[in-house]
A and B are shown apart, each in its own frame.
Chain A
């Protein structure tokens, strides 16, 4: 059974720092992995989608990597800003049961 975990559960950093969020999954049989941000009281916004054949995707200050064999993905945020404060979730689309499984999220606070 696929399990998705995210460490740390919460992270607080000063503005301007580069940071890495981690996502781990137990079954490497996945189609793709997607990173989302969720702002308090709001919906999810898709950030990056990495197909299983890809190693990384970049969008602006965000870079997501995928190492399928080790069951890990990282989301790198460069030069963090207070506006980056949100909860970041990863989701894997697994092949075994044709389902998308979400991680519990990492709550990020960027301190001005």
Chain B
């Protein structure tokens, strides 16, 4: 299936731990994104990569570090997890600019920090 896939789907972890969320797209898209959806359902962009290069880095704590080994993958590593990091994290991709084609989203990773 052609898609944006994220793993894991659910992640429960204790405060202070380090965790990673993986994202892969087989759509041949150039640009990948990480979004955070908070408890009020607002979606906010965190990072954007185009052909493995960072092009958007919103005001996100340094504890969040994206890694793009190739243009089909954009992983999100989070250090020293805090309670406030609990949210649903979505990976997305687009072909070039969002201008013409819009986004394709993954199914999300629900992170719960306890």
Contacts and interface: CB of A to CB of B under 8 A. Distances in A.
A100 B105 contact: no
B110 A41 contact: yes
Contacts, number: 49
B64 interface: no
Interface string B19-46: 0000000000000000000001111110
Which of A44, A45, A87 has the most CB atoms of chain B within a 10 A radius of its CB? A44
Interface residues of B, number: 22
A49 B41 contact: no
A76 interface: no
Contact of B107 (A32, A42, A91): A42
Interface of A: prevailing SS: strand
A46 B41 contact: no
Interface of B: 40-45, 56, 90, 92, 97-108, 110
Interface of A: 31-32, 34, 36, 41-46, 49, 51, 87, 89, 91, 93, 99-100, 102, 104-105
